[in-house]
Every structure is written in C-alpha cells, then in structure tokens.
Structure 1
Amino acid sequence: MIGAGHKTFLYVCCFVCSLASSLIPDTAAKSQTPNPHHDHPNDKDDRDAIIQIGLFDLRPTLSVSEEFSDNIFLSDRHKKSDQISRIAPALTLQSNWQRARLRLIALGEAGFYAQSDDDDYLDGETGISGGFDIGPALAIDGKLNLAQHHEDRGGNDIPTGATEPVLYTEQSGEIAIRYIAGDIRYRTVLARRNLDFDDSTLAGGTIGNNDDRDRTETRIVMRASYPLGRGRAVFGETAFNQREYTNLPDDQGIYRDSTGYRFYTGMTFDVTNLIDADIGAGWMTQIYEDPVLQTNEGLSLRATVNWHVTRLTTLDFRARRDIDETTVTGASGIISEEFDFGVDHELRRWLRLRFNGGYEQDHFEGTKRTDQILRLGAGLRYDLNRFADLDASWRFDERHSDETGHDYQRNRALLTLRLKM
C-alpha cells in the first residue's frame, strides 16, 4: 500500500502534468513537417524551450517518475517489490560564442522508496566544460565534474548484508587537443577519475569496509583518422591506462594496481545523415601488480551504429568488449561483452514507440564465474506539447550465473513526466 507521503507525491505529479498540458501554449507542435534527414522531431521544440540570457542559453528541465520493481535487491530467493518515486531537476547553461565554448551543468536526483526507507537516496552532479578554437586546424577542450552517486543493494561489489545503498563520490576531468594536418585529423585526450566509496552498514550494526574500492584512474587516448571519401574515414587509436588503489594491500592482502593498453583500428561512416557509425576492433591487455592476479587480455571491440531507415524509424546498435574493474574475491577483473539494439518509430508526430534489447556476458577472470545478462524493454512517449512529454515503459532484466546466489529476474514498470521550462 502506498503511504500518505507517496500519495501526495503522486497528486503533485498529476497536478503538474495537467498544468503543463493545459497552461503551456502548444504552438502547432504536432503539425510541423519532419526534416527529410530525420532530425529529431523535438529539436526545434527543445530550442523553443531555451531561455536566452545574453550570449548564453539556459535550459532548465525537471523529470518526475514513478517506478514499480518486483525485485529491488536483485535477489533470486528473497524477492522484495517496492514503488520508487523520483524527482530529477537539471540546469544547463551553454554559451553562444563564435570560437569559444563554455558549458555549466547542475544535475540532481532524489529517490524515495514506499516501503524500504533505508534505500532512499540523493544524487547530484556539477560540472564545467569549455573549449577554444585556436585556429582552423587546432582546438583545445576540457571539462571538470564533481558528483555524488549511489549503488543499489545487490551489486557485485557491495558487501553481503548491506542495509543501505553504497554512496560514493566521483571527481573527473579531462583535456583534449584536436589538430588537423593535411587530410589527417589527430585527437589526444588526457583523463583522470577519482572514486571514493563510503563504508556500508551491515545487518547487526557492523561496518562493511568499502575503502578497498577507492582508486584513481588515469587514461591517455591518441587517435588519428584519414578520410577515404565522402562520409567515410579510417582511424587508428591507442589508449593507455593506469589504475591506482588507495589501500594497498587490500583487506584480502592483494595489490590491485594495474596498467593496461588498447589498440583499435576501424572506420567511421556518415552517409547523408541516414547512417552514422563508428566501428573499431583491436587488442587489449591489463597487467596487475600482484602476481596472484592474472593478466587479462584479448580481442577488444567497440561499435556504434545509428541508421535512420525512414523519416519515422530509427535503428541503433551498440557493441563493446572491454576490461572492467571488480573487487570480487579471486577475480583480477571482468572481461565484459555487451550487445544492445533499439528500434524507435514515430506513430504520430507526438507519439513515439521504442523497443530495445541487449545481452551481456561477464567473465570474472581468475575464477570460474561467468554471468549472462539479458535485457528487454518497450516504451511509449507522448508529447503533451513543446514543453512536456509523458513516457510509459517496461523493462526486464535477467542474470544467470555459474555461481550460486547470483541469479535474478526483475521486472520494472515506469511512468515519467519530463518538463522543459
């Protein structure tokens, strides 16, 4: 049963939805002709929702949603269902300068569980990014972000018996240089990320130590591309990384610091705005300081494809094979293979239907554990007017694991109202 506080939240959402659809003027948003190259139908509407302040564009948005989940802790035997109310405001300030760029963001999300109050959370993020075109062949960009996030109970690296989500802070920054020499385009990126996880309160009042996950990741990416003709280019990319943990050794007596590299080669396509793709394959290696942890290496893959089949239908595809971090006992890392696809179709100018699916296989290197994850989903979005839309969706995910206790199935139903002030 929904508590009084959540009933009030629902009443407020309904009132805001009604107010948005009735009071905000709808200036023929449903009668405009789509761009022949299938620009997003709301591009112009988004522009109308922007507040201009001198040489800056201010874009405030607000999202409120209700979710029902039948397995909030991703458990196989002890499923618990709950209703989650979320509110997510966002504010973006973007410059309109000629040769320079500046962007400020402030994001937030608060989640409230109807029954499991201990899982309520408050996330937030602030960031600044900018760049400058030094000349026609040289540009520099950079960004800094500070965020507080959470991980729901039931995750691989969350201590067994945790009674609340794990909070962590993330500090990240990067600087990128783009340079054109003749027909060759170069791009170099230096990025750094710091993660700091709070400890967990466990059943019985004891404390679960998450400091073993605290780390700093440094990454250098160098990419060169050469055009082969209209809308096509071949590229080569090299990436180096260093992952340094704060606590050495960790509670298991292991030194988890590592260094790695990835080599990619591939092609990009941009065919008259109908098909755009970035497809690359190569080799990856992650070498760990502790000899107990085995070296991870193998084929690396990255693919992104968007195909605007017609003015009304879009297909997208994503694939990835990479090495992820984990502190699961005995595992040096996770070699993750992911494949995702989606179909987006406009039933009407104001009504959009989407189907999506995905498959993921995670190999916990150094152990016998392999997880297989299936994802399915469907959604329907109704544009109330230029400033508001309503989204109803269903999502299903299922995990099968070689280790007992890690299987689960979860169904989620979501209703989201998005406002663009």
Structure 2
Amino acid sequence: MRSGSVRASVTKPLTAVSLIALAAFWALPVQAQSIKSQDKADPRRANSAKILQEQNPQEKTDGKDDEKQIDDSYQPKGIELGSFLLLPQVEVSEGYNNNIYARAKDKKSDFITRITPEFQLRSRFTNHMLNVTARAEQSLFATYKDDNHLDASTSVAGRYDFSREWEATGSLDAYQTYEDRGSPDAVNGKSPTRTYGFGGRTGTKYQVGRYTFQSELNGARRLFGDVDTSTGTTIDNSDRNRNEFGAMGRGSYELFPGYAAVTQVEVNRRQYDSSRDRAGFNRSSSGWRAETGIGVDITQLVRGDFLVGYMKQDYEDSRFKDPSGLALKSVLNWTPNRMTVVALSLERSVQETITTNASGMIHTGASLLIRHEMQRNIILTGTASAFQDDFKGANQTNWTYDARARAVYALQPELYVGGEVGFRRRTSDKPDVGFSQGVALLRIGARM
C-alpha cells in the first residue's frame, strides 16, 4: 500500500463517530474478507477459491504470498492449538537491484539479503472467524548499508456471524515500513524514510432477498520519521503526520443470477497534525466519491466489480487546486480453467503527496496478473502494471510501468524455493524524476 493512499474516509462531523466505532470494535471478532465456507474448509487461507485470491493485482507485485497458492497437498499441516492453527515460516532471499536509489543518473547497484519470519494464527470455528498475522522483514545491503532497514506488520482480522444473512467484519493493524526510493514523495535522504502507524476498520453486511447492503467505518494514524542527508542536515517529515478517517456505504440488487446493479458511496477526512507543511500549505482535506455499475458473480468462472462515477477532494488551503473528476474502481477475476487465474484491476483515485504546489495526486492505474499452476507444486506468476500520477497544481505528470515474472517450487510441504525477475520504468515531464530499475532474486523458505 502506498503510505499516502486512502480509499474511503469521513468528513469532519463523522470523525468522532469513526473514533467511537474503532474503540467499540474491540468487542467484536473481525475479518478482512467474508468468505465463510472457504474459511472453514481451509484455515490456512483467507479464501480457498483461487478466483478470490487476487482481488488487488497491484498489491501482488512482491510475491510475498506466492507459496500459499500452491496445491493443498503441498501446504504445511501447521501446529494445532485448540480451535486455532498456527502456521510459522521463515524465508531468506538474495536479490540484486541495478538502481537502488531509483535515479535517472549516477545509478548505484547492490546485492540485498532479506530475512523474513512470519506466523499466521487461523481460527477453525464452526461459525465466526478470528485470524492473526505477524510478519517482519530485515533487509541487509551488501555495500550501501545506510539503506539497511526492518519492515514489520501485524494484523487481527475476523468475522462475527449474527445469522446466515447478517455478519459484522473488521480488522486492526499496525506497521513499520520504509518508503520506497522510487516513491514520488521520496526525500532522497541518506537512508530511506521510516513510515509507521496503526489503523482499523469495522463494517457489516446484510442480505435480504435480492438486496445486499454493506457499510464500513475506517481510521488510520500515519507517521513519518526524520532522515539525515549526506550533507549532515536533517529532513523534518513531521508535516506529513496525519489521521485518516472514512466511511463507505454500498447497496446491490441482483438483476438475475450472477449479475447485480451496484451503487457505492465513500466519504473521507484527512487531517494533518501541522496546520502548514514545509512549503507553507495546509494539506488537510475532505472528499467524497460516488459510483455505480455492475457486480458479476458467475460461480467460480468470473467475479468482479465494474464501477464508474465522480470524485472530489476539497483542500482547506484556498491556493490549492481541488482534484475532481471521473472515478473508476473495477476488478475482474477470471478462471478460464482450474489451473489458471487472471486478475485485472483499474482504479482512479486521489492520493496524498508532499510535492510542492500540488494539492493531491490523481492516481490512475491498471494492472494484470496471470497465475498458472504448472504442476501441483509449481506456480508461475506474471504481473504487469501501468499507472499515471497527475500532480494537481504542480504541472507534473509521471508514468510508471512495471513487469515481473516469478516461479515458486515446493520441494515438499515444509520447504520451497522461488525466483523472480522484474523491471520498472518511470517517465516524467519533470527533470531527473524518471528512472529505470531492474531486479532479480532467489528465495528459499521453510514452514510448518
């Protein structure tokens, strides 16, 4: 996830409601996705049906979960803990990056060792669901050791079933990560920028006849660490610290089996700690988006949303140009056969940025993922994406292209190996912002 990305939040009057909802959330078991029967069938996965496992192709470029896509006969048994199943694993990878600082000139290459321990605790209740995941990733650079860093995250997700028609869902998460050197907001410090925070969401889904109603409240606290420069000065990133709140309502009506008319409305509030950023702008804002379209659910063949509408983000600083216009949010999951899944996504949204004179960044992205089960213990994955970042008010537009190919081979349920090659390129109408970057890595992992 990009650190500045928010999909749904709340206007000021709704902020207090969001905080109350997040506090009350502790009383409810929670969940990220509501696929009840699959959770019971296979507690190792949030969703066991292949067609449901790639809802966001743009978030699958790193391959962190590829080993979990291998056939069940090559999945570990885990450690039984009463009504829970504990699934620990550790992975070590050795990679090469030919442009670690994502620069147009003076490129630096390096080898990077990553050590990644992880555990998942999956419930096996007859009803309801409660899952816990924790993950850490230590990155060690062979030459440019100032870029050594530790990413870590933990999340709790679950579902409470009031009845077959009514459920409550939600999640809590905390994270520490370091901003990608190729991020549009990278400040080019001596080391990458540390970003950390926590958040949560809670929602409900109710179905009656052909109607389905969903709602959600969410909130997040996002923080950014200071970084030193090669000249001995310090870059103060405190003006990026903020709270984000949101709400979403969605209704659908099944026109006939497999097809539904969908309407979705989202509102947001992005409140910065500082009344002025380093350039003297007030970046706090409120926004909304409304979309309508078609939802498709044809057994295990095709599932997806095709929504189009309007969005607008209002910034408190009158000098800013408020982003608005076409809103898109579409995801297609197609399973042409039991061995292959194809996932396509398209989205247009307003994201945060610290680019001087830019209010927000209109991000338009398209991505494609194709995963094929070559054998029960061999998974091949290819991803490709292209997206445009339009910095409103800054007369800057970036295009970024990314392509990756990966393979994972399970030697046995407890041991797997993998490899990846990838290429990323950015072009921009602003000098020295574009770059090209190639990566390659080998992975080996052990699990129980």
Q: TM-score, normalised by structure 2?
A: 0.82
Counting only pairs closer than 5 Å after superposition, residues 10-409 of structure 1 correspond to structure 2 as 42-45=70-73, 48-160=76-188, 162-409=189-436
Preserved CA contact (<8 Å) 1:302 1:319: yes
Q: CA deviation at 1:37?
A: 9.2
Q: CA deviation at 1:361?
A: 0.9
Structure 1 residues 36 and 313, CA, compared in 2 at 3 Å: closer, same or farther?
A: closer
Determine the C-alpha separation between the residues in 1 that align with 2:367 and 2:280.
37
Aligned to 1:9: none
5+ residue gaps, structure 1, are: 1-34
Structure ID, larger Rg: 1
Determine the C-alpha separation between the residues in 1 that align with 2:415 and 2:235.
43
What SS does the corresponding residue of 1:135 show, helix, strand or coil? coil
Structure 1 residues 180 and 204, CA, compared in 2 at 3 Å: closer, same or farther?
A: same
Q: CA deviation at 1:297?
A: 0.5
Of 389-398 and 344-353, the range deviating more from structure 2? 344-353
Give RMSD over aligned pairs.
Answer: 2.0
**Larger RCO, structures 1/2 (Cα 8 Å, 6+ apart):** 2
Determine the C-alpha separation between the residues in 1 that align with 2:277 and 2:392.
18
1:5-45, CA deviations, whole angstroms, 9 ceiling, x for partnerless residues?
xxxxxxxxxxxxxxxxxxxxxxxxxxxxxx99999973523
Preserved CA contact (<8 Å) 1:170 1:193: yes
1:265-290, CA deviations, whole angstroms, 9 ceiling, x for partnerless residues?
12222222022212211111001000
What SS does the corresponding residue of 1:212 show, helix, strand or coil? helix
Preserved CA contact (<8 Å) 1:225 1:236: yes
Q: CA deviation at 1:313?
A: 2.8
Q: CA deviation at 1:98?
A: 2.5
Q: CA deviation at 1:380?
A: 2.3
Q: CA deviation at 1:251?
A: 2.0
Structure 1 residues 195 and 250, CA, compared in 2 at 3 Å: closer, same or farther?
A: same
1:85-108, CA deviations, whole angstroms, 9 ceiling, x for partnerless residues?
101111111222223222222111
1:37-94, CA deviations, whole angstroms, 9 ceiling, x for partnerless residues?
9999735236643222111111112221111000000001110000111011111112
5+ residue gaps, structure 2, are: 1-48, 54-67
Preserved CA contact (<8 Å) 2:70 2:379: no
Q: CA deviation at 1:264?
A: 1.4
The structure in which a higher percent of residues are strand is: 1
Of 47-56 and 240-249, the range deviating more from structure 2? 47-56
Determine the C-alpha separation between the residues in 1 that align with 2:99 and 2:140.
16
Of 373-382 and 61-70, the range deviating more from structure 2? 373-382
Q: CA deviation at 1:191?
A: 0.2
Structure 1 residues 400 and 174, CA, compared in 2 at 3 Å: closer, same or farther?
A: same
Preserved CA contact (<8 Å) 1:38 1:308: no
Determine the C-alpha separation between the residues in 2 that align with 1:230 and 1:271.
8
Aligned to 2:443: 416
Preserved CA contact (<8 Å) 1:56 1:93: yes
Q: CA deviation at 1:353?
A: 2.7
Residue identity opposite 1:417 in structure 2: I
Preserved CA contact (<8 Å) 1:38 1:311: no
Q: CA deviation at 1:402?
A: 0.2
What SS does the corresponding residue of 2:162 show, helix, strand or coil? strand
Q: CA deviation at 1:301?
A: 0.8
Aligned to 2:30: none
Determine the C-alpha separation between the residues in 1 that align with 2:91 and 2:254.
41
1:345-368, CA deviations, whole angstroms, 9 ceiling, x for partnerless residues?
333333333322111111111021
Preserved CA contact (<8 Å) 1:38 1:310: no
Q: CA deviation at 1:312?
A: 2.7
